[in-house]
Amino acid sequence: EAQLVESGGGLVQPGGSLRLSCAASIFTFSDHFMDWVRQAPGKGLEWVARSRNKVNSYTREYAASVKGRFTISRDDSKNSLYLQMNSLQIEDTALYYCVRVQGGGDSFALDLWGQGTMVTVSS
C-alpha cells in the first residue's frame, strides 16, 4: 500500500531552522506533484508548498506566509520530499503533512497523506 512517512519535526526556537523529510513508498514518486500542508493545533488545514514533477521542470509554489523562508525540494532517486524551514516563527507551530497530488490541469486533489510531523516553535 502506498505511503508517506514524515520525519524531522521537533522543538525549535524562534528564528531557528528545521528540515522536514518525507519518504514515499509503493508508488511512482517521480510522476507526482507533491505538497506540504500544515495544521496548527486545534485549527484547520493550510496549504504550504508544492513541488511539481520533472515533466514540469520541478517548479515550485509557496503560500505567502512562508515564501522566502521555506524551500520545498525533492530527490526522485530517493523517493523523498523535503521542506527546509528557516527563520521560523511561533505561528509556524503546526503538524506538517506530506501529501501526494493526483490529477492535472485544474482538477488536482490531495489523495495520499502522511501521518504528519510536529513542529513547535517556542522559546
Partner 1 sequence: DIQMTQSPSTLSASVGDRVTITCRASQSISTSLAWYQQKPGRAPDLLIYRSSSVQIGVPSRFSGSGSETEFTLTISSLEPEDSATYYCQQQRSYPPTFGGGTKVEV
Site of interaction with partner 1 (CB under 8 A): 44-47, 50, 61, 63-64, 97, 102-103, 106-111, 113-116
Nearest distance in Å: CB 16, partner 1: 25
Over its C-alpha atoms, the chain yields an Rg (Å, rounded) of 14
Pick 39 or 93: Cβ nearer partner 1: 39
Q: Which residues have CB under 8 Å from 46's CB, separation 6+?
A: 37, 38, 39, 40, 63, 65, 94
Nearest distance in Å: CB 35, partner 1: 8
Among candidates 76, 80, 110, which has minimal Cα distance to 19?
Answer: 80
Pick 16 or 69: Cβ nearer partner 1: 69
Which residues are registered as beta bridge partners of 112?
100
Nearest distance in Å: CB 107, partner 1: 4
CA distance 117 to 108: 24
Pick 3 or 16: Cβ nearer partner 1: 3
Nearest distance in Å: CB 37, partner 1: 8
